[in-house]
Structure 1
Amino acid sequence: MSVRLAVPLVFALLTAGCAVGVAGTPQAAPTETIDAGLVGGYFTDGLAAARGGAGPQRAFLQRTQHPDFRTDACDLGNLVLAVEPALSTLRPDPDWAAGRGGVPRGRVYVVAVSVTAKRDGTTVGVQIGSQHVVVLDGAAYGFAPCPR
């Protein structure tokens, strides 16, 4: 069989099943599935900012601070935090209150995270804990950490 004939034949075989309809009614993905993608994107963007250093991380934390808690945000100075989530642990936490500010607007989630703190490129601490992220109006927001 010539190559000229084989390519259209293979293409026809690969795409043959694509035109077959599936019975049923289309349904939107569950809110939690959509939110998991937003939360995952929040952490991906946060890690990218951390790789850029203190300045980009500061901008990320300011941009993604929950709108109702912007006055409560902390400045990390030159401390850079690489926060890596275990997204398989993501779960709703609707009763969580953000300190004196109360329960934030939006859908509240909690996820296990590993945090590596660096100052001037040197690791100064590693911690495992949890972090809350809120999905509000189609965006994921967090709460800037305050070093103690």
Structure 2
Amino acid sequence: MAERVAVLLASLALLVGCTGPVAGTARPVQLTDDDRTKFKQFYERLNKAGDEGASQQQTLLKDTQHPDFRQKTCELRGATIKVEPTWSTLRIDADWAPPGEKAHPRGHVYVLAVTVTLRQDDQVIGSQIGSLHVVMLDDQVYGFAPCLGG
């Protein structure tokens, strides 16, 4: 069990820490109210699915995975995540590419600071602050599902 907890904690660190510092100057994002609502609903749906169970959240993560990276999803191994965005940090990150990729994802890429909490069997395993990327593509919000190593 201790080994599994260690893997989950290390994976949580990779989830929010894999992006590293974001280059460039932070400028307020000029989004419509409708776009802001879509970003907020994305995370609300993610957290609600996590409250409903690991399989529901896993399904949602697969369904909302950026279309160009659908083959890059991973299992959460029965764990769930809760993501608490800091909306004042939302900004465009036009030069970002997912780790291990050279190509910028299609769509408008945004990054924001989040607190991610990893839960296993209704117990908090770990929590970390970092940055997550989301994409607005064809009027839809897509993310990049976390991978828990091991």
1:113 partner letter? V
Residue of structure 1 equivalent to 2:94: 94
Any idea what SS the aligned residue of 1:50 has?
Answer: helix
CA deviations 1:92-127 (Å, max 9, x no partner) are: 111101123321000000011111101111111011
Q: Is 1:76 the equivalent of 2:93?
A: no
Using the size of structure 2 for normalisation, the TM-score is 0.75
Q: Relative CO higher for 1 or 2, CA cutoff 8 Å, sep ≥ 6?
A: 2
1:32 partner letter? L
Q: Distance in 2 between matches of 1:133 and 1:41?
A: 12
2:141 partner letter? A
Q: Is 1:36 the equivalent of 2:36?
A: yes
Deviation at residue 41 of structure 1 after TM alignment: 1.1
> In the TM superposition, what are the counterparts of 1:11-30 in structure 2 within 5 Å?
none
Residue of structure 2 equivalent to 1:146: 147
Kindly indicate whether the alpha-carbon contact (under 8 Å) linking 1:38 and 1:135 is maintained by their aligned counterparts in 2.
no
Kindly indicate whether the alpha-carbon contact (under 8 Å) linking 1:112 and 1:130 is maintained by their aligned counterparts in 2.
yes
Structure with greater Cα Rg: 1
Q: Distance in 1 between matches of 2:57 and 2:87?
A: 21
Any idea what SS the aligned residue of 1:40 has?
Answer: helix
Any idea what SS the aligned residue of 2:87 has?
Answer: strand
CA deviations 1:48-67 (Å, max 9, x no partner) are: 11111101101110110000
CA deviations 1:54-100 (Å, max 9, x no partner) are: 01101110110000000011111101101111111101111101123
Which stretch has the larger CA shift, 30-39 or 81-90?
Answer: 30-39
Kindly indicate whether the alpha-carbon contact (under 8 Å) linking 1:36 and 1:90 is maintained by their aligned counterparts in 2.
no
Residue of structure 1 equivalent to 2:55: 55
Any idea what SS the aligned residue of 2:37 has?
Answer: helix
Gapped runs of 5+ residues in structure 2? 1-28
Q: How many residues align structurally? A: 119
Deviation at residue 31 of structure 1 after TM alignment: 6.3
Using the size of structure 1 for normalisation, the TM-score is 0.76
Residue of structure 2 equivalent to 1:108: 109
Residue of structure 2 equivalent to 1:15: none
Across the aligned residues of Structure 1 and Structure 2, the Cα RMSD in angstroms comes to 1.5
Runs of 4+ in 1 over 3 A off after TM superposition: none
Kindly indicate whether the alpha-carbon contact (under 8 Å) linking 2:77 and 2:148 is maintained by their aligned counterparts in 1.
no
Q: Is 1:65 the equivalent of 2:65?
A: yes
